[in-house]
Amino acid sequence: MEENNFKKTEYHLYSYKDIDKLNQLADIKVKQLLNDVSIKAISYEEKSSPTNSFHSNVEDEVIKRDEHMREKIEQLKKDKESRTIEKELINVTLDLLEDEEKKLVELRYFSKPTRSWTSIAQDLNQSVDNCIKVRRKVIDRISTYIL
């Protein structure tokens, strides 16, 4: 397996544990954007528009702000959906692994803080070298499904 795919797969596994919190943050940001009603007022130093104008600076500001907010909300929703799909993909992929392999992935990548190989090896009653060797094989299998 090429090193780049190995690193990408590990990145996805390490970030798995934060997906739910990141999705919650996205939901909060969407609510915040939807509830934000602030409008920039025109100051006295600024020249106001002529009376025959069909729109005002305030209207322009509101329209720009609304377009910007919609773009941000759409991006937040896309990011959330992408993370949700990634989580589902990892969950299904983990179900394809043997119990020992799955346990190794959970201990190494899903625990906070990340555990040492010595600690993982003790939990699995295996040597550190064997755990690292199994990890390489497992990451290779996982990468074929999630990348």
**Number of Cβ within a 10 Å radius of residue 71:** 10
Compute the half-sphere exposure of residue 117: CA atoms within 13 Å on the CB side of its CA: 9
- Interval 72-89: pLDDT, tens: 999 999 999 999 999 999
Q: Rounded to two decimals, what is the model's pTM? A: 0.79
Nearest alpha carbon to residue 134 among 100, 94, 84, 91: 100
pLDDT at position 50: 55
pLDDT at position 65: 81
pLDDT at position 139: 96
Residue 37's pLDDT band, with cuts at 50, 70 and 90, is low
d(CA 18, CA 39): 34
Name the percent of the chain lying above pLDDT 70. 86
